[in-house]
Amino acid sequence: MTRPIGIYEKATPKFFSWRERLHFAKKLGFDFVEMSIDESDDRLARLDWSKEERLDLVKAVYETGVRIPTICFSGHRRYPLGSGKPEVEARSLETMRKCIELAQDLGVRVIQLAGYDVYYEEKTAQTRSRFLKNLRKACDWAEAAQVILAIEIMDDPFINSIEKYLAVEKEIDSPYLFVYPDTGNVSAWHNDIYSEFFLGHRSIAALHLKDTYAVTHESKGQFRDVAFGAGCVNWEEMFAVLKDINYQGPFLLEMWSENCETVEETEKAIKAAQDFLYPLIEKAGLK
């Protein structure tokens, strides 16, 4: 059995139906697609899909053989768990509950959560406290549903290292809470890659492959739309460390090529990423 490699929904043409998207992923050799439920109205509306809409997607998965094992749930950027506004806090929990129910219906195993206490509000000790309180509640729901929650290492100082995640994990103490590192985000903050992954390897649910520009005194960095190989990720070191910790989980190519003018242009961008990453993955013995 070879390692599963997937593609992020936002790398595929936005106008595709889900059947078209899964066929597209299969054509390019991917094993799975990660669904995005971000802060846009269109994608948040998926939380209210009918049973018929959910079943249609399950049928498409079986027809194509391309799975949807993960949801990238960044809707909490708009409705954060740590919000100081009671109506927003209530909405954050409502969307979380609905996302867990959607995952159950679709057979999704992991929901990736954005590691923000708040995004558009001022961070305080209270926003952190509310985030932890509501994350604990979300983990209880996830445990009942047997769906894993995994916090992404972010473009935000709140949780910008696996080490910081591990402090949250210790406080929450849930068997259904994991971490979902991002190679680019971990690297952009100048974390020690060896220490990060050796300390956190037991808690990793999945891994995003992405490049970034580093955070410096002069720059806030760039956390998306950086070509693979053009950013700060030391790919040979990264893959060597993943080999050393015996990481057997999936790789997910995180890209934002959904708004390319043509399908051919999208394919070209994805194939360029594959041409860069796959030889390095094979060289490290991680295929």
Query: What's residue 114's pLDDT?
Result: 92
Query: What's residue 1's pLDDT?
Result: 57
- For residue 181 the two structure tokens come to 């590192």
Amino acid at 178: F
Domains annotated for the chain, with CATH where assigned, are 5-284 (3.20.20.150)
C-alpha–C-alpha distance, residues 20 and 60, integer Å: 9
Query: What's residue 55's pLDDT?
Result: 98
C-alpha–C-alpha distance, residues 184 and 166, integer Å: 19
Stated pTM of the model: 0.96
Query: What's residue 287's pLDDT?
Result: 86
pLDDT tens, position by position, 107-158: 999 999 999 999 999 999 999 999 999 999 999 999 999 999 999 999 999 9
Angle CA(218)–CA(221)–CA(227) in degrees, nearest 5?
135
Report, as ranges of residue numbers, the positions in the chain whose pLDDT lies below 70: 1
Strands 177-180 and 148-152: parallel
Q: In what order do the strands lie in the sheet with 70-73?
A: 177-180, 148-152, 110-114, 70-73, 32-37, 5-8, 251-253, 207-209
Amino acid at 116: Y
The beta strand positions in 52-136, using DSSP E, are 70-73, 110-114
pLDDT tens, position by position, 89-116: 999 999 999 999 999 999 999 999 999 9
Contact between 182 and 162 (Cβ < 8 Å): no
